[in-house]
Chain A
Amino acid sequence: MKERKGFDIYLLYLIPVFLLITVVVYYPVLKGLVFAFQDYNLFNTTNITFNGFDNFRHIIEDIAFPFGQILCNTFVWVFASLVLQFIFGFILAMLLKKPFPGRGIYTSFVFYTWAVSGFAIGLIWAWIFNGQFGLMNDILMRLHLIDKPIGFLSDPKYAMKSVIMANVWYGIPYFGIMLLAALQSVPEELYEAAKVDGANAFTRLFSVTIPYIRPTIISTTLLRMMWIMNFPEIIYGMTSGGPANSTNILSSYMLNKIYIEFDYGQGAAIGVMIMTLLFTFAVIYIGITSRKED
């Protein structure tokens, strides 16, 4: 009797969440996906027709913006950002684990970057990385580390690294907070036991800490990956995908299609590609990582 009553109330609890998400996310998304198969260009919207996979074909075949390069940039952007954010976030979390005087204020000044909006990050870092009057060059020159300014955003060799650095700056706190919390949930006895077994700090990290916080690592990296993939603001503000396509990723390419070319059909087609890639990856990732858990 109780079981049944409980089940009903749970369903009731779930209704608002899924109702709201259906109305505000799923319904518009389904309508938006239709654009991907239409010649929807704001230049003339009086006669929009279905054009099958033309939008996809155009994007894949456009030699001015080589699709392979954009895809490759996207993977570099997502994985380099993710891995660096994760590693530095992890180190920061380890550093913050034990209390020290002023830890509260310290965390506030290390974590604030998470609260800077995407377009502002683009503006600020474009200035810092400017190849002529940028701060980074000025500081490096004053320290005599370089003797000629580096074109951080104008040299394809550095452009992707520079935008990734800005993204890492922004994203460290996310992992910092999450992993810090997870680390504090690792029972002290486990460390003691490992110490008794003669494990050094390094092996303790891999044999105790990481396995224990594994669920946190899995869900935070998956969510973060999705967000990085859908986060064109930094690139858009710093390089607009240039120079010569070298920092163009799928989401900045989509932004270009929508805001510059007004081509909603092709923009939506890129959106469909992003969602497909992410969802496929998510299913594989969850599949691989959950096997061990159950």
Chain B
Amino acid sequence: MAGPVVSETDIDAAGLAVRLRAVTKIYHSGVTALGPLDLEVAKGQFVSLLGPSGCGKSTALRLIAGLAAPSAGRVDVSHRASKADGCHPIGFVFQEPTLMPWASVRENVRLPLKLAHVTATEADRRIAEALALVDLCEFADAYPRELSGGMKMRVSLARALVTDPDILLLDEPFAALDEITRFRLNNDLLALWRKLHKTIIFVTHSVFESVYLSQRVIVMTARPGRLAREFRIATVEPRGEEFRTSVDYVAYCREVSSALAPSYSGQRGA
């Protein structure tokens, strides 16, 4: 499998975390899911991929994570020199919490470290840190079924953070949550991003979410997904609830929505 590890120095010198060049993904069924897509994400940036369902934005994320190989083109991901045992350059959060139901919160978060053979004491310390980041310390011994949807998602986030990744890939993580919980997690995610300086690539189909969270919004076309338009969301940082109700925010949302509209027009029954 063609892994994403290529020419690290080159991409690092350019200050990039992720670079896609003319990346195409064609499934075995012959359907072209993605591309050709070009994308550069600078280190520390918060970028949203926005597009209709089935436009290949999740596929793009899987390609970056190395979970699938591109049919054509190149995927480069920055790999820093490993800081410590059990550090993994990429953290991935799926649309569902994707927790192991048979394991407690603590054991779920431990998983990436266990797979990397990190010693128990070191792992315990980092699990405690990760759980503190998502404010779930008291629930370390709970089982996933005992948690609410939002809490499960935060466990999933803690698991992605426990390896101290440089890049966080989030695949519509909050799509299944109610609005209030989603707003809260949006704010939590922004706070984490400001605190930890990670590169975040966030896949969503919500215009409002993408504008609220990201510095750059990449609007994608319907299948096969390509870059339709890109927006830079320039606003006063740090963002908070007041941004969500500001005139700027509404203006951005209107612009992004109109850029997204053509992607939907070709879809029947959308």
Q: Do A and B bind each other?
A: no
